[in-house]
């Protein structure tokens, strides 16, 4: 998993950035400015880096939980988009995606901190 970490992180970055770009361009019908693309790229890099980090450090549990969170966030996003034509609801869907991913990352981070402290106590 360690050797594939750059490909995993890069793959999640590309998929996430493409997803956001297509949503903005064709669902929201918004002309994307450079600032929009930079913001989407930063968020996509965050997601890609989280997956890279967990795969590089071989944290399988956190990687799987974050992957499940990613799938849930995409399902929720498309569910909201499929049930509405209102732009405000579409933006709520995108913000929901961000929040679900953030909660998933925080959960995995807290789990890793717990495991680190548990292993540190056992070593002492």
Which carries the bigger pLDDT value, residue 51 or residue 90? 51
- Per-residue pLDDT band at 88 (split at 50, 70, 90): confident
* Domain coordinates in residue numbering, the chain: 5-123
Taking 3-state DSSP, the helix, strand and coil percentages for the chain, each rounded to the nearest 5, stand at 85, 0, 15
- Cα–Cα dist 123/48, whole Å: 32
Q: What is the pLDDT of residue 101?
A: 93
Tens-digit pLDDT profile for residues 12-35: 999 999 988 888 788 777 777 877
| pTM metric for this prediction | 0.83
∠ CA 22-36-81, nearest 5°, is 40
Tens-digit pLDDT profile for residues 60-77: 999 999 999 999 998 888
């Amino acid at each position: 998993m360690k050797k594939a970490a750059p490909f995993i992180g890069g793959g999640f970055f590309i998929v996430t950035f493409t997803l956001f770009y297509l949503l903005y361009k064709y669902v929201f019908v918004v002309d994307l400015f450079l600032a929009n693309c930079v913001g989407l790229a930063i968020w996509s890099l965050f997601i890609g880096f989280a997956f890279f980090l967990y795969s590089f450090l071989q944290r399988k549990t956190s990687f799987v939980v974050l992957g499940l969170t990613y799938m849930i966030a995409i399902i929720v996003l498309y569910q909201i988009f499929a049930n509405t034509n209102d732009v405000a609801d579409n933006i709520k869907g995108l913000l929901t995606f961000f929040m679900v991913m953030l909660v998933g990352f925080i959960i995995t981070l807290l789990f890793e901190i717990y495991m680190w402290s548990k292993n540190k106590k056992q070593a002492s």
